[in-house]
A = this chain, B = another copy of it.
Amino acid sequence: MKKIETCFTPALYSLYHNEFSNVVVIDIMRATTSICAAFAAGAKKIIPVGSIIDAKKMKDDGYILAAERDGIVLDFADFGNSPNLFTPEKVKGKTVAYSTTNGTQAIKMASCSRNLIIGAFVNLSKVVEFLNNDEADVLLFCSGWKNKFNIEDTLCAGAIADKLISSGKFSTNCDSTFVAIDLWHLASIDIMKYIEKASHRKRLKGIVTDDVVTYCHSLDLVSVLPVYKTDSIINILN
């Protein structure tokens, strides 16, 4: 039986790292949701960028740059970090450099894994299908908020873990995973109501519209499976 573990924040990642596991990086509001949206809009490749200095350099080198910190678009970026900004007009056939507060940092941190998969509610079934068909254990890696635990990433980890265990191919003895599943069962009755209490939902009020938040918490809107390979992310279902 394959095993599942859940890491609640990047600050705990070193306790869970295993180069033989498949890692699913989750940043629901908004990096991993936006990466899925970008590929659904026809992006060719996404290059995650850690620091603001490196982001500026990518822009100077001629890349399209999507970048934000603390929810706010960086002034030298082409656009920010919401899934609706990654339109076919802007990204189709293009390579996009991308830098965010939490998600792209987690992606860089987990780059030495068997497969590093970009997971979100919007591509949940594609993530589950891939993990079920591969032979490796799974680490669900929540990006959190500045190394703190957050609700929405945990709920998505719970939704993925729940489906994997239901498939009969996975089990867990990880307290974080048990709790993520229980929270998902509690929240999924009315996820938009549940998410109202999340600190990042409150933080983003006035920065993003409600339909962006709804998009971020909707299941299986896009048929993409973004995977990190040698410094950039591609959609392996392309």
User: Contact residues of A with B, CB < 8 Å?
Assistant: 8-9, 11-12, 15, 145-151, 154, 173-176, 178-179, 182-183, 186, 197-200, 202
Contacts and interface: CB of A to CB of B under 8 A. Distances in A.
A199 B186 CA distance: 21
Given A154-B179, A179-B154, A182-B183, A148 B199 contact: no
A175 B202 contact: no
A198 to B, nearest CB: 6
Given A15-B148, A175-B200, A178-B198, 12 more contacts: A8-B149, A11-B12, A149-B175, A149-B176, A151-B175, A151-B178, A173-B202, A178-B197, A179-B179, A179-B183, A182-B183, A182-B186
Contacts of A179: 149, 151, 154, 179, 183
7 contacts: A149-B175, A150-B175, A151-B175, A151-B179, A154-B179, A175-B199, A182-B186
A174 B149 CA distance: 9
Contact of A199 (B9, B154, B173): B173
Contacts of A8: 8, 149
Contacts of A183: 179, 182-183
A154 B186 CA distance: 17
A222 to B, nearest CB: 26
Contacts of A150: 175
Nearest to A151: B175
B173 A148 contact: no
A197 B174 CA distance: 9
Contact of A12 (B9, B174, B186, B197): B9
A198 B182 CA distance: 13
Contacts of A147: 12, 15
A148 B12 contact: yes
Contacts of A200: 175
